Structure 1
Amino acid sequence: MAETFNPKSGSPDRVVRCFWHGPFSPYEALCLSSFVAAGIAVELFSEAPVAGLPAGVTRRDAREILDHEVAVYRHEFDGPSPSLHSNHFRYALLEKVGGWWIDTDVLLMAATLPATDIFVARQSDHELNGSALRFPPGHPLIGAARKRTAAVLEDARWGDTGPRLLTELQPEHAPDLSIAPRESAYAIGADEFQKFLLPEACEEVESRTADSTFVHLWNEMWRKAGVPKNIAPPKGSWLDRMFERHRIAVMWSDRLDADHVARWAALRRDRDHAGHYNLVHDRELARLRAELEARPGVRLSGFDRIISSLKRHFGSSRGR
């Protein structure tokens, strides 16, 4: 971790920080502009210059915080994702300097940031999410998350360093943590991400996010579904309304078709469902093989019978 970082933006109540890797789209510009519009400074860390940053966003060198090549998940079904590095980076930054962290797919809906020293919200009844966080420097939960992530970085699987990790570590390292309700940031869940883009869901999203501080757009779901981010949202959708509300001027080359969005979202669900059971199957076979090979006198013929049984079980599970 670099030791040269020196916060430049004054009060931690008026600055948010984030990380970016790859092509920057108008959707990220919309999200960051929502903070700028509220008078909040935005510092975006990246390993290279980023084209298309909106006014009011300062680009900073990511190596000020974490002198490490961008790490990507290598063991997922939908291709490599830099969200692994984003998780590692946020823990390193918050452990060192504290303050506010936001993902670049988070919109600020409130007039200002919550007046609190710590912020983390539930994404479901049983799981936390780290797309919008505030912690003081050196907090034990963030330190534990950074250490765990650094230890598994090269071999991390999807989910090992994100919400699942924060949820696992919180009871031990922050048992009295005050956790914001799901509605504060995740009123629309990951499996509903397409509602931001469907005109028929516009009023539903508006109603469900009316009292939200933040709205998470679930960029990873867009990536997995293959939704292009270089063309405009469908006319009449909630995101179309957000671009108009925040007066984000974009010269779009085309506009998304709502029917296509719905179809991509459905295909993404099917792929995730099949991929989940393939992964469970693979891990269970590896566990059983190691367990059986450790027992003296076990012959592979017995293992082969177990393999056949597992294939029948997991094969039928994928069809459910």
Structure 2
Amino acid sequence: MRPEIVTFWHGPLDSLRRLCLRSQVAAGHKVTVYSFEPLAQLPDGVANAEAETILPHTFAERLRPARPDGVWIDRTMLQFSDFFRMRLMAKNAGLWLDADVLLLKTIEIDAAKPYFAWERPRQLGNSVLYLPANDPIVSAFDGLMAQDELTPDWLSLQHRFTFLLHRLRGTKRISEVRLAIYGPAALTALARRAGELSSALPKKSFYAVHAEPKLFFEPQDFSALIGDPGIIGFHISPKGRGNQQPVPGSLHAWAAEKFR
């Protein structure tokens, strides 16, 4: 099955993410970006949908202390999107791709099976994610969201001890302690508990340049990357380089020319 690609964004889209969205359309997918405000400069073929229908904006206040101006900090968006993608899975909305995933080829999935890949030797990535609506991982997040404090029952002993120490200092919510507690670490722990780790694709499928941004942004020979049949796309994680002009001779420049 060729799935619809879905994602969430809050704030303006930079040029790199618009490039990645164009690549997803070029691969033959229907692409929808959910947001709370209309997004400007969306590429042709990319739809914009109302995020409130999936997860209310007010849910963010359960992740962090409310700020008087209501502005989200970086941590808010990351944690909110971790829950948002799970709500999309519960609604059978499609395949989640982070907006900074550059797609090289069409993705085909089995709608009855999970779809994700290793990001590190012992950790799954959640930048590329599909789960059936009845998957145990989706059910675990449903149960978590029914709590007031959003404390996972899948925390490692080390994380539980760290949280206990912070609680003794007055911290009330685990979302204030760990930035990615609901992201890849959660997906990995729950996939292990559900016996689904064997479904994971190899790291290179989507994360060949993720930990080494110079492989994407700096000039070099990238022919092996784009010629490898096992690489489906690149999760780029630009880290402040989203509006950087492509440097000639870089994979970034190649992609910008290919997906104009």
TM-score by length of 1: 0.63
Query: 1:185 is matched with which residue?
Result: 206
Q: CA deviation at 1:205?
A: 4.3
Selected match of 2:190 from 162, 169, 172: 169
Structure 1 position 139 matched with structure 2 position 135: yes
Q: CA deviation at 1:94?
A: 0.4
Report the structure, 1 or 2, having the larger helix content: 1
| Structure 2 residue identity aligned to 1:245 | K
Selected match of 1:200 from 205, 209, 220: 220
Selected match of 2:94 from 94, 99, 104: 99
Structure 2: stretches of 5+ with no match in the other structure? 66-72, 153-172
Q: In 2, distance between residues paired with 1:146 and 1:130?
A: 17
| Structure 1 residue identity aligned to 2:218 | L
Quickly say closer, same or farther: Cα 1:70–1:232, change in 2 above 3 A: farther
3-state SS of 1:45 partner: strand
Query: 1:217 is matched with which residue?
Result: 236
Q: In 1, distance between residues paired with 2:129 and 2:210?
A: 18
| Structure 1 residue identity aligned to 2:107 | L
Q: In 1, distance between residues paired with 2:221 and 2:81?
A: 30
TM-score by length of 2: 0.77
| Structure 2 residue identity aligned to 1:56 | G
Quickly say closer, same or farther: Cα 1:70–1:199, change in 2 above 3 A: farther
Query: 1:277 is matched with which residue?
Result: none
Quickly say closer, same or farther: Cα 1:195–1:185, change in 2 above 3 A: same
Selected match of 2:257 from 240, 244, 264: 244
Aligned pair count reads 224
Q: 2:36, 2:57 within 8 Å by CA — same for their partners in 1?
A: no
Query: 1:120 is matched with which residue?
Result: 116
Q: In 2, distance between residues paired with 1:211 and 1:176?
A: 19
| Structure 2 residue identity aligned to 1:50 | L
Q: CA deviation at 1:93?
A: 1.1
| Structure 1 residue identity aligned to 2:202 | P
Quickly say closer, same or farther: Cα 1:161–1:176, change in 2 above 3 A: closer
**What is the percent sequence identity of the aligned residues?**
30
Larger-Rg structure: 1
Structure 1: stretches of 5+ with no match in the other structure? 1-11, 249-320
Query: 1:89 is matched with which residue?
Result: 84
The CA RMSD over aligned residues, in Å, is: 2.5
5 Å-filtered alignment, 1:1-320, equals: 13-69=2-58, 71=60, 80-81=74-75, 82-110=77-105, 112-117=106-111, 118-148=114-144, 151-152=150-151, 155-156=174-175, 157-175=178-196, 177-190=198-211, 192-200=212-220, 202-203=222-223, 205-206=225-226, 211-219=230-238, 222-223=239-240, 227=241, 229-246=242-259, 248=260
3-state SS of 2:207 partner: coil
Q: CA deviation at 1:35?
A: 1.6
